[in-house]
Each structure stands twice: as structure tokens, then as C-alpha cells.
């Protein structure tokens, strides 16, 4: 499973790095999550500059895609040329978006009238794009999922692992990163959130 973590200038570190860290717990199963960006370097909302691992076009060929949020998402959503470089396919790919990343999914036509999650700041922009926003941390419709709130990146990563490899693998990955003394409760909470949206492999 090759995964594109779509990361743009002004990105939220919690979205891209937490998801990448959890998904890369699956390396022994042949999974790889890559920071995927339109430029060779991107700088976060807090001034952290990182080098991309894959160019933006990699997202089109990846098996799965996660779109993080950032302070420049509205600019990106209005950039038709940039959007044209992201021909995602929900019939083939697992696709997730977090917070303002949901706005990009809407602009790419991957949500339509379906309920979606986003953060409180982005909520009115997503609604302007014609998307019904629900007051929940996570929701999925088939192969497309959205999450709201920075730490909801845990749910997106867990959903992607569960959808691609099964609940047991997702539980194991989350158990590794969960706080000591709270591992069982952390895993249980995440499974309670994502399980209603899963048709997992055996």
C-alpha cells in the first residue's frame, strides 16, 4: 500500500506527521506513507520546513491518499491549475481528508451532498461548497473519509489501516503509539469511532 500524505505550504504538522507516523507502522506489511507536495520543500504553519518525499502527481497513482489541513487551504482550493494536478479516484483509492482538507475534497468533487467532517474555522467554507457538515470527529462513505480536529488524524490513520488490512492491524498500530497506561482505552475509543464505517477484510 503506497500512501500519499498531501502536504502544502502552511500545513498543520499534527495532520501530516501523526498520520504518516501511524501508517508507517505498517512497513512490515509493505505499506509506505510519503509526504507528498507540489514543491520540493514545504513550510508548516509554525515555520517547520520539510522536504517532500514524493511530488504531487504521486497522489494520482497512490493506493491511498490523505489530505491534511493548513492555513492556505482556501488559496489552494481556488487554484484550478493545482487542483488539476490531483486527479483522485475514489473507485480505486482510499481517500481521507482532515479539517480544511475536506474543502479540497469538495472542490475535487469527491464528497457531493454527503455529510462530512471539518474543523470549526473551515466549516462555513465547506458549507459554501455545498457540503453538509456534521458535528462529529470522523465519518466515512465507502472509500472516502473526513475528520475534524487536529488529533482526529488518529482516526483517519486507523480507518485507513482497518479498511486496507483489517481491524486487528489497526488496533496493533494504535496500541504502539497510544500513551502508556491508556493504551487499551485509546484503542477502544478509536475503534468505537471508526468501526461503524468499516467493511473490513477478514
Positions of E strands within 93-173: 94-98, 138-141, 144-147
| Residue 202: predicted pLDDT | 36
What average pLDDT does the structure give for the chain?
93
Return d(Cα 160, Cα 6) in angstroms, integer: 15
| Residue 130: predicted pLDDT | 84
| Residue 200: predicted pLDDT | 47
| Residue 114: predicted pLDDT | 84
Pick from 1, 22, 6, 2: which is nearest to 105 by CA?
6
Beta strand pairing call for 138-141 and 94-98: unpaired
CB-based contact 96:156 (threshold 8 Å) = yes
pTM, whole model, 2 decimals? Answer: 0.93
Write out the three cell numbers for 136: 462529529
| Low-confidence residues of the chain: pLDDT under 70 | 200-202
CB-based contact 148:132 (threshold 8 Å) = no
Q: Mind listing the pLDDT tens digit for each residue in 131-185? A: 889 999 999 999 999 999 999 999 999 999 999 999 999 999 999 999 999 999 9
| Residue 144: predicted pLDDT | 96
| Residue 29: predicted pLDDT | 94
CB-based contact 88:27 (threshold 8 Å) = no
Tell the burial category of 152 from Cβ atoms under 10 Å away from its Cβ (0-12, 13-18, 19+): buried
Task: State which fold the 2-197 domain adopts.
Answer: Rossmann fold (3.40.50)
Residue with C-alpha cell 507536495? 37
In the chain, what are the domain boundaries? 2-197
Amino acid at each position: 500500500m503506497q500512501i500519499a500524505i498531501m502536504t502544502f505550504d502552511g500545513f498543520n504538522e499534527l495532520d501530516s506527521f501523526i498520520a504518516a507516523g501511524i501508517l508507517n507502522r505498517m512497513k512490515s506489511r509493505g505499506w509506505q506513507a510519503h509526504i507528498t507536495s507540489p514543491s520540493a520543500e514545504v513550510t508548516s504553519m509554525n515555520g517547520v520546513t520539510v522536504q517532500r518525499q514524493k511530488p504531487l502527481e504521486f497522489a494520482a497513482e497512490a493506493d491511498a491518499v490523505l489530505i491534511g489541513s493548513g492555513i492556505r487551504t482556501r488559496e489552494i482550493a481556488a487554484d484550478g491549475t493545482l487542483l488539476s494536478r490531483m486527479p483522485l479516484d475514489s473507485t480505486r483509492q482510499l481517500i481521507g481528508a482532515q479539517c480544511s482538507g475536506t474543502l479540497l475534497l469538495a472542490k475535487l468533487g469527491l464528497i457531493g451532498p454527503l455529510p462530512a467532517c471539518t474543523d470549526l474555522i473551515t466549516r462555513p467554507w465547506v458549507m459554501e461548497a455545498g457540503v453538509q457538515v456534521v458535528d462529529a470527529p470522523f465519518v466515512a462513505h465507502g472509500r472516502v473519509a473526513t475528520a475534524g480536529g487536529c488529533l482526529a488524524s488518529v482516526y483517519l490513520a486507523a480507518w485507513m489501516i482497518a479498511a486496507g488490512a483489517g481491524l486487528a492491524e489497526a488496533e496493533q498500530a494504535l496500541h504502539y503509539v497510544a500513551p502508556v497506561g491508556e493504551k487499551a482505552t485509546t484503542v477502544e475509543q478509536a475503534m468505537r469511532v471508526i468501526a461503524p464505517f468499516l467493511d473490513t477484510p477478514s
